[in-house]
Chains A and B, each alone.
Chain A
């Protein structure tokens, strides 16, 4: 992760821009960037969504409440962002309807930034999805939510190490109490504008024979689609025999 130089240090400070924030509700016309909100069920995605857009999308304390995607918008520093709240999923590997909605959007909707909301209390389990998403996209922010509960459970998380290991910025939030939301917005805009360049973690612990097969296949895909960022993930899916991805490859939707 590198931070690019900006014209003035003030522009990157969340206090400087606090007044530039405008919650746009459902008005998502003429947006400059698309931001996807992904994560495990019941990590507070909809609460984060509401905090960012000023909408009151119904939230509930049970996994699977958001089954279709919800959209909203906010304006920050004169740039308009469209926010898409995706259904919560544990994985992107299997194929229930809600998982498909989430995966298709990340893949074909090509969001400018993907905010991955994770439960700080259950980080290890949540990382399963985080690592899968990082194979698909290279512009992501980890929103480590429910920090208030983590604190009560005596869990401390070293944000800098985590951010270094994942190769993406990490922001700690307690969305219910609006804590960390300004920092989250600031980070989203910096990733969207390319001020922060991510270098996402790629899945490492795979046996050599698979790693080799993925390398060979990924190189071929890159040859055919130069500029594609997730050739490795497509290779994973092809090796799995995912018919939907094979179809998308044929129609050129993935390019």
Chain B
């Protein structure tokens, strides 16, 4: 290979490009289409007379209509959440029984029988094991219901219709219509949502989609929302309406997240990420009846178990960290107590408390462990009995007992509401942050995507707390 010859070829191509003029691209494209048309004419035969009843078109007319499009979307989201909330209760308490009431004492007595040193026993069984057990008991049931339901909708072909409905809103925010698809993926997992933004061609719109994906409540945060809403929001209304009230407040938070997504997209596209909205074609694929059992199987293997595994991998070291900071003393107070004390002032301003802020720092690797961390730290601070000792993570069998502990820790309705808001508006988990870096290859944008939601969270919770306290 001769470098000079290559340069000659490139030279020649430049010359020829001038000769053939501007229409090259269009001419080539037209040529391809003409060829395609010729080929199809000879080999494809469509029987026009027997055009069958177009069910697809009929369904599309309804689910993408101006009047029914949005209500149907919220109805489906509500239905999926409702089945998740109701359905997850029973298996959850069964698993908690098994892991915490049966296996945990057995492990403890085993440790005693082999005379394991107290710190190793505490570190492994009370720290690592309990964290993992909590994650499995609390997360597995809702995931095993939520993901298959979501996958069924996806297989049926509903997601592109959601994109179609939201396209106009995204366009008005200066973002790409396909962001609706990446947003939906984010409802499962933000890291997956960030990877999915590869379908967006324009780098500017892709960045917007990446930065704002965190506003989709992810799988690690749904259980937190559902739990807190059930305990605190459900309690303010008569008991026959408490499930409905909890459901609506969770949907409210999810919709608020979408609102923040539009708002932030709009703000970004008007300031640092200025540019034209690009157009695109979205094919509405035909509806396909989902293959029920196959979908159930693949969503269990592909999504549920993978996400669960990730949670376990992160929960184990986090459980260890919690146990350590609660058992290492500086002077006569533990590291955890000292940290909680120093965060308390700032926490109060936000309508939260030091425990919650510390929990969010410990839980950076995985949102899933926020609630157990909060419970454990609260028990430690208030000194009420019920737990297993300093730094031991646990789950109480009934929601009422969980609520009692939190109330003893000074929680009010404001704390609960602001926790739900802060759970929506805070930094993405470390996996997502790493994924954002891998996708953008930019420290700057990774930092923006990580810090921006926390700042929003501080502002929103601060405002809510101040307004709440005025009345």
Contacts and interface: CB of A to CB of B under 8 A. Distances in A.
Given A209-B19, A216-B12, A224-B6, A128 B291 contact: no
Given A94-B201, A162-B43, A236 B16 contact: no
A158 interface: yes
Contact of A165 (B39, B156, B195): B39
Contact of B35 (A61, A156, A201, A240): A201
Given A42-B285, A56-B298, A238-B13, A158 B42 contact: yes
Contact of A153 (B6, B14, B52, B198): B52
Given A203-B28, A216-B12, A61 B155 contact: yes
B36 A62 contact: no
B66 interface: no
Nearest to B1: A252
A1 interface: no
A4 interface: no
B50 A255 contact: no
B198 A68 contact: yes
Given A124-B40, A157-B44, A213 B20 contact: yes
B237 to A, nearest CB: 38
Nearest to B40: A124
A176 B52 CA distance: 22
B12 A220 contact: yes
Contacts of B51: 154
Nearest to B50: A154
B39 A217 contact: no
A213 to B, nearest CB: 4
Contacts of B287: 61
Contacts of A123: 40, 44
Contact of A149 (B25, B46, B286): B286
B10 A238 contact: yes
A124 to B, nearest CB: 4
B45 interface: yes
A204 B29 contact: no
A205 B35 contact: yes
B399 to A, nearest CB: 34
A131 B32 contact: yes
Nearest to A131: B32
Given A61-B157, A149-B286, A203-B31, A241 B201 contact: no
B108 interface: no
A127 B154 contact: no
Interface in A12-63: 41-42, 56, 58-63
Contacts of A42: 283, 285
B8 interface: yes
Nearest to B163: A62
Contact of A217 (B13, B43, B45, B297): B13
Nearest to B286: A149
Interface in A48-97: 56, 58-64, 67-68, 87, 90, 93-97
B176 to A, nearest CB: 11
A249 B10 contact: yes
Contacts of B156: 61
A7 interface: no
Contacts of B288: 61
Given A61-B288, A153-B52, A216-B12, A206 B28 contact: yes
Given A41-B283, A224-B2, A60 B45 contact: no
A64 to B, nearest CB: 4
A1 B341 CA distance: 79
A221 B9 CA distance: 7
A224 B9 contact: yes
Contacts of B61: none
B34 A62 contact: no
B152 to A, nearest CB: 10
Contacts of A246: 10
B160 A63 contact: yes
B385 interface: no
A162 B45 CA distance: 12
Interface string A110-138: 00000000000101110110011000000
Interface of B: 1-3, 5-6, 8-10, 12-14, 16-17, 19-20, 24-25, 27-40, 42-47, 50-52, 151, 154-157, 159-160, 178, 181, 195-196, 198-201, 281-283, 285-288, 291, 297-298, 301-303
Given A42-B283, A97-B198, 5 more contacts: A123-B44, A205-B30, A213-B20, A224-B1, A224-B6
22 contacts: A42-B285, A60-B159, A62-B181, A64-B199, A96-B198, A124-B40, A125-B36, A131-B36, A155-B45, A155-B46, A157-B44, A157-B45, A158-B43, A201-B35, A203-B31, A207-B27, A207-B31, A213-B20, A225-B1, A236-B28, A238-B9, A239-B24
Interface of A: 41-42, 56, 58-64, 67-68, 87, 90, 93-98, 121, 123-125, 127-128, 131-132, 149, 152-159, 161-162, 165-166, 176, 201, 203-207, 209-210, 213, 216-217, 220-221, 223-225, 235-236, 238-241, 246, 249-250, 252, 255
Considering the complex of A and B, which 7 residue pairs feature the smallest CB-CB distances, nearest first? Answer: A96-B201, A127-B36, A238-B13, A64-B199, A205-B34, A67-B198, A154-B47
